[in-house]
Structure 1
């Protein structure tokens, strides 16, 4: 009986060790710094998606808290992908409106592996706001205020020959202290009269 108990204990210990190994092998430590961009101190990660990652950072030179979008460029990046990134930067540099998120600066690392876009930091996006706050449900004036600001931002884009093309709650950022909403993420935006003559990748049927 004692021999069986030792065997069982050994087996249990082996299972525990395997379980621990699997946990720690799947654990990815949080990113501590922005590679090739030492001006910024990472405070935490805000979002991650197909576009890259967004961090809340402290600008070491000014002390300002900002949002930094990190775009990793693959080694085999195509000319088309490069054009898309450059177009987003150019369009953001063109706009200047109270209801459009401000691009403060952009940096490409020396090894050309990353592009960083530095934005003003806001509290949350509209999707998060709807889920955690009831204000939009009980305060009609706030719904009207946000809608007016969104339409004003879109009208400004159109007046400046810009199509945003990705209007959704996650791309609308909110300053909760001032009840201001801002249009963000110009990754899919295009100028009117794009020389390609194509505003979507989807083929016509």
Structure 2
């Protein structure tokens, strides 16, 4: 089920980063720019290259020693997806910690803080959602649909499209889908949780309890974004599901 944690034990970084992965000490934190269910996000600078990046520190449950399954899924999906309108996961870095394994360079278990390193984007769509020109709306919607189409043809549902998860950079010219924490692979006969998608952008079938769904749930959210562009306010700003 969605939201479960991985079985007890440390994350095997061999699946996501090479042995000898860089440490977080290679980055200088500039400021905190966000916080979510599974971690804090910082603007940072790569000390070696001078490039800006976004560092997402993963919250681990010390009691269970478990790694959130949603984060594992997000890492796997972002390693798979490669498109100009999808945020790029550059690498996984770690804090100085301890490694345990059978001796091989590709067979070890790491215990310590883990960070996802993303390309840095200037701001999210919320900052321009209610005051964009018609030409900007057209340009942003085109990029959103291109990125989402790429996800769907690769059998991936995003399941949390909203202004805060659409990032803007390049002088306001480039839009990228971000935050794949609720994303997952899908099949036509699959059954999934309906406790996804922020309420204002959640389609009726999920509100009515559907568990068999596909691309249409994301398309509904895109429609809500488009309407919000035009109306300059949320289309369905509800507080409850009913």
Structure 2-normalised TM-score? 0.61
Which structure has the larger Rg over C-alpha atoms? 1
**Count of matched residue positions in the alignment of Structure 1 and Structure 2:** 164
Q: What residue number does 2:29 align with?
A: 42
Structure 2 residue 83 is the aligned partner of structure 1 residue 97: yes
Looking at structure 2, the residues matched to 170 and 178 of structure 1 have their Cα atoms a distance apart, in angstroms, of 15
Shift of 1:204: 4.8
Task: Could you list the structure 1 runs, at least 4 aligned residues long, displaced by more than 4 angstroms after superposition.
Answer: 201-205
SS in 2 for 1:130: coil
Cα contact 2:30–2:44 (8 A) shared by 1: yes
Question: Per the alignment, do residues 77 and 168 of structure 1 end up closer, same or farther by CA in structure 2, a change over 3 Å counting?
Answer: farther
Looking at structure 2, the residues matched to 103 and 54 of structure 1 have their Cα atoms a distance apart, in angstroms, of 13
Shift of 1:113: 4.1
Shift of 1:74: 1.3
Q: Deviation per CA, 1:131-187, whole angstroms, max 9, x where unpaired?
A: 6xx3x1xx2111011011101111100000101000000000001515111100000
Structure 1-normalised TM-score? 0.71
Looking at structure 2, the residues matched to 198 and 142 of structure 1 have their Cα atoms a distance apart, in angstroms, of 35
Q: What residue number does 2:68 align with?
A: 82
Q: Going by fraction, where is helix more abundant, 1 or 2? A: 1
Q: What residue number does 1:69 align with?
A: 56
Q: What residue number does 1:180 align with?
A: 174
Looking at structure 1, the residues matched to 126 and 144 of structure 2 have their Cα atoms a distance apart, in angstroms, of 14
Structure 2, unaligned runs of 5 or more: 1-22, 99-110, 197-207, 211-242
Looking at structure 2, the residues matched to 184 and 61 of structure 1 have their Cα atoms a distance apart, in angstroms, of 25
Structure 2 residue 52 is the aligned partner of structure 1 residue 58: no
State the Cα RMSD in Å: 2.6
Q: Which has the higher contact order (CA 8 A, sep 6+)?
A: 2
Cα contact 1:74–1:113 (8 A) shared by 2: no
Cα contact 2:124–2:167 (8 A) shared by 1: yes
Question: Per the alignment, do residues 176 and 72 of structure 1 end up closer, same or farther by CA in structure 2, a change over 3 Å counting?
Answer: same
